[in-house]
Amino acid sequence: MQLIPAIDLQDGRCVRLFQGDFARQTVYSDMPQQVAKQFERMGLKSLHVVDLDGAKLGIQHNQASVRKIADATGLAIQLGGGIRDADTFRQWLEFGVKRCVIGSLAVTAPDTVRSWFAEFGPARIVLALDVRVEADGMPMLATHGWTRTANTSLWECIESYLGVGLCHVLCTDISRDGALSGPNAQLYRDLMTRYPALQLQASGGVRHVADLQTLSDAGVHAAITGRALLDGRISSEEIRSFLPAA
């Protein structure tokens, strides 16, 4: 399993939100490229970036910061946040992003997103599917910054994209995100049982290296963590077994 560190950008700064709440944020650095370089020095090869301004406003304000990260490191960057048209998608690729992460639009405008699979290729697209797990165990999709619950399950959404070559899925149990409460391993085991060919990225709740091992045992392809790394809860020594060369 690969470990992918996460950086959230707002006004050019590296921040973290608690369960997506803009009013509950921690600022980690005014120089995100330095944070990215630190991850690279740990031996990590990829980076997950969220443009919070883009996600909130639909306007990309952090291009300069992303370009600095791309220029300062050799990390493979995947970026999400407010990508709502093909021109924005294309622009991020030109700025050095390897994959674009598509969230709510995958649910609200599926025909548009399917056309991007044809235009840019499945390898360039990650579907970010955020879920609330209902009392009956059904994972239902949440959209619009987690403010709305769609009438679509995680399973229905994935099924609708298999025909266009879907391979990368980033799944977050939003009750776990930023809360350091542990990942929802059962959700990811169910996902991998249903769709073993998916390149699944698990996100939300990672506290320490034992959680990474739990996710690895669940069969996920990659685990994304921001706060646990930024807070030093996972050391360089501990992540060695999750480095690509390990």
Catalytic residues: 8, 130
CA-based angle 39:42:47, to the nearest 5?
A: 35
Q: Is 125 exposed, middle or buried (0-12, 13-18, 19+ CB in 10 A)?
A: buried
Q: Output the CA torsion sign for 174, 88, 199, 162.
A: positive
Q: Output the CA torsion sign for 139, 141, 147, 151.
A: negative
Note whether 191 and 174 are within 8 A (CB): no
Cα(177)–Cα(155) distance, integer angstroms: 20
Rg (CA), the chain: 16
* 8-state DSSP, 177: T
Note whether 165 and 119 are within 8 A (CB): no
